[in-house]
Structure 1
């Protein structure tokens, strides 16, 4: 199997992420005596500066980790909740049938800072000042501008200039989008983090006391005050085409805290895969495994037409259940992963491609789907037009129109979304984290802080009675989905990818490539990737494309022809267009790592 780079192998430590600066920062922490948790936090804050078009301080982060001291996998939930005033009636009273994909109305409590701080306090060893130092340096002195940063800012330059002047002041230096390869700084963000450190150090002489003081400053102090004032006292044009103020208040921020939970798990061929709870889409990975366990993928042959067809059809069934059952609610997870339910569901996988959205009835419960836009169309949200609606709507992709049409770069790479980082240290601690939200094009920049709020509330439905219905103080059903796997009961693999709804298609595909394809980590990342667009998008404007299957055009032409014969609407993408995976592993006497070559920015480092 061709690989773009070697799978790394060593015994000291490994870091893999979606940007080389974050990976280097994390490895620097390991080299200076920090553990995997310290390294992941430092890398996570660097990602906010190095990939500002894909995540920011106003976003969120779910984390899966293995603590060698605890001998268990834990989930850190850094996903904030909807404001207390965020009711369905408020939005529908504004004439909206979906939550806008940009602007203040889509903001939830920014949970990333709380999530990182909780992991650092409970499992880390470094101080706040030490883990923030690399991010402060890059925010103050600048990072090299990726082609994708430049293209993203260029796509929203008119919006910034005409409607979001605070964003123009931050992201249009000299009045224009920064050129690829130039240096871009965010001195206001650097000052925000410097002030956090100063207030924390003045409040306490202990590491734990300083971390507690930093959380107070963020959720009750000067950061919270600036967020609340901006949210409730200003109004901006959003992706509805109208001008709206926000709902997030100081009480919302003060009332929230990151939490630690047990993962949801499923055993598959000697491996135990761990995911977040169904407040995120994570368990849809496990549902796919529960169905695939009833098929002989080895007999089909890796990446054969039978293999790709079966994996795709199983994904359609699992994601249909996501639409009907997942949310920050009472989800019948044991039934959804149960033997009887999956024996019944697997018979729906036929020889031809399904064009229906078919949720199941776990435990005899009747499924209920949201009122979806007609297939192939967007919602009826008012004011949407390709000519005038703000760019960058919904998912953080560069768009030609408000319908979310993706633009590809010169090398054919579809611009992705979100960030990811994986770490393993010499002690055996492991981390998989997927920070996202608060990207620069999501909402106007808060001038006092140097960052904007996130837009994760767009994932709520404005219909009563659904698990993912908008309700105050609940978590949106996020797409952010880090992954962890044990092998024969021992910690083995931390992995994940950006990609919105595709995260829990690309990640299972990678996992299956290792388990069934016999590939090493780098080979599995480099292998031809595919995913379905059959089910409704989690992002504004919530459209779907039944039967559409995206494949990298490196997939065997005979396989593609057979998939089309079976009824899949195959859309061939560029040879390196899909997936942005990274991974670290504990494999016998060695630690291993690999990262995505697509887009020429992901990197793994280690020794």
Structure 2
């Protein structure tokens, strides 16, 4: 039996698990003061914007999955912002661009995180905006310990900040210096932004819903939107194209946007119902993999064996190839999701897997007889800035781990459960807006500057994101909320956690701690869109006999350190107990509860 690094937590009051110990404790403090899971998740989410600014920020996005005991269903809150109305393929082609930049202002979309968190509070929360935002304001105003990874991130962009992005230098280089690990860091401008939102909300009236609505207006039509438009219009900043461009985002783009509440995409797997976002995110990839794997009887395949790893890798290659050919914003393109998730289609795809040999091709399928069309992938070697690790700073192909996103899961004593994956607005990806204390997301880098694709750049469309929180019911009852940072790797690690518990007989912490891996076979969703056919990043804790057999089957293994894969966290309801686990990798994620 696998020895876990820490115990799986059990209790009956509440559980919070996230990628930062202070965010987890923030959520727990909200539960202790009478808040529910929605209040706790939002408070943790706002805290993460301050505590992990290299992984997410106020100008980013967040998809949220919520189980409501009152409504007895899972819903998706879509906090992915949309492309500016001025953003067209033709316009960017006229700028001489063949691929969206990975940094700067040109790749900005509407910042959706604030609207999504407010929608969660409005629909499911109980606390006031002041109560939920106050912990984040305190971290920003009075300071918090700088993570070593934040220091290293700022070091990599120090010269660029000084020479090209002076507003970022003013924020992230206090006294002209990179903040040292564990030093106290303050972002007083951001604290003032959030304090002003509370003040404008409370000035609108004493009713909670009135205050939330006023805060939303202040963000999307008020002083925040005005500052964003002014900054995008007035500044041309250097991006990964090597040239300077202004932003295209306007106040009207923000005013026209709102977080949408949707039904999840689902798949029945044995006695489980797995819930994900729609195909505007990569979430259905995990469902497609499960549909393929359903035919293998994984109860008879030892978890972590060469057969197990091979099947997960090969089914993933097929599902992710379909992501490349078919996924996008369903408001702008016809996505055959029902066919992609059907048993017949899964059987067709399953027949392509050679259980003895690793595939090296990108093989999208033909759901409903349709012909797949793939993007024209760029030659990453010829792209300016490709070697600098720009785009989403996730797990690099050489095994270097830089982190990329955050995650938080919450369950309360009433049974409400939340899984959320905040990202975007990274301090290193776009210049800080000086009046606000944060920068914009560069998520538009995920669009293609090619017409006629599901994920082509279109005004008002959402980029096909990688953000992918997960939820599962067991025997029709809410069971587990879980997720991870990791860009294209998210649903690879989410799947491993789920299967480790379902078939491997592991508890949450054991499943998180188990040796992990991910494939870099599929082209990256982020600039510069690199791919490495048949390559697998895998931890050295995997037995040598398994590594040898995987290599014999043709997998190109890049063996990394024993604790380099995955950033998972999870909460669950089982019988009389609530449970939680969090990732030990990086010595940062923690679960708390009682």
What TM bracket, shorter-length normalisation? Answer: over 0.9
SS of aligned partner of 1:105: coil
RMSD: 1.1
Matches within 5 A, 1:324-339: 324-328=325-329, 329-339=333-343
User: Is the alpha carbon distance of 1:535 and 1:147 closer, same or farther for their aligned partners in structure 2, counting shifts above 3 Å?
Assistant: same
Q: Which residue of the other structure, out of 359, 363, 367, is the alignment partner of 2:364?
A: 359
**How far does residue 406 in structure 1 lie from its aligned partner after superposition?**
6.2
Quote the residue 1:435 is aligned against. Answer: 422
TM superposition score normalised by structure 2 = 0.98
Does residue 517 of structure 1 match 2:471? no
Give yes or no for contact 1:15–1:606 (8 Å, CA) kept in 2: yes
Does residue 342 of structure 1 match 2:343? no
Quote the residue 1:69 is aligned against. Answer: 70
Give yes or no for contact 2:14–2:28 (8 Å, CA) kept in 1: yes
Give yes or no for contact 1:407–1:415 (8 Å, CA) kept in 2: no
Does residue 371 of structure 1 match 2:373? no
2-structure distance, mates of 1:243, 1:407: 31
Give yes or no for contact 2:76–2:263 (8 Å, CA) kept in 1: yes
1-structure distance, mates of 2:252, 2:80: 17
Quote the residue 1:269 is aligned against. Answer: 270
Q: Deviations over 1:468-494 (max 9, x none)?
A: 000000100000000000000000000
SS of aligned partner of 2:518: strand
Give yes or no for contact 2:409–2:481 (8 Å, CA) kept in 1: yes
SS of aligned partner of 1:151: helix
User: Is the alpha carbon distance of 1:352 and 1:7 closer, same or farther for their aligned partners in structure 2, counting shifts above 3 Å?
Assistant: same
**How far does residue 92 in structure 1 lie from its aligned partner after superposition?**
1.0
Q: Deviations over 1:292-334 (max 9, x none)?
A: 0011222221111111001100000000000000000321011
Matches within 5 A, 1:126-525: 126-328=127-329, 329-350=333-354, 351-373=356-378, 377-378=379-380, 380-381=382-383, 383-384=384-385, 386=387, 391=388, 393-397=390-394, 408=400, 414-525=401-512
Q: How many residues are aligned here?
A: 589
SS of aligned partner of 1:120: helix
SS of aligned partner of 2:380: coil
Long gaps (5+) in structure 2: none
Long gaps (5+) in structure 1: 399-403, 409-413
Give yes or no for contact 1:397–1:406 (8 Å, CA) kept in 2: no
1-structure distance, mates of 2:77, 2:397: 33
Quote the residue 1:411 is aligned against. Answer: none
**How far does residue 90 in structure 1 lie from its aligned partner after superposition?**
1.1
Quote the residue 2:567 is aligned against. Answer: 580
TM superposition score normalised by structure 1 = 0.96
Give yes or no for contact 1:24–1:605 (8 Å, CA) kept in 2: yes
2-structure distance, mates of 1:183, 1:447: 21
Q: Deviations over 1:123-163 (max 9, x none)?
A: 10011111000000000011101110000001100010000
Q: Deviations over 1:248-275 (max 9, x none)?
A: 0010000000010000000111110000
Quote the residue 1:4 is aligned against. Answer: 5
SS of aligned partner of 2:26: helix
**How far does residue 416 in structure 1 lie from its aligned partner after superposition?**
1.5
1-structure distance, mates of 2:382, 2:72: 50
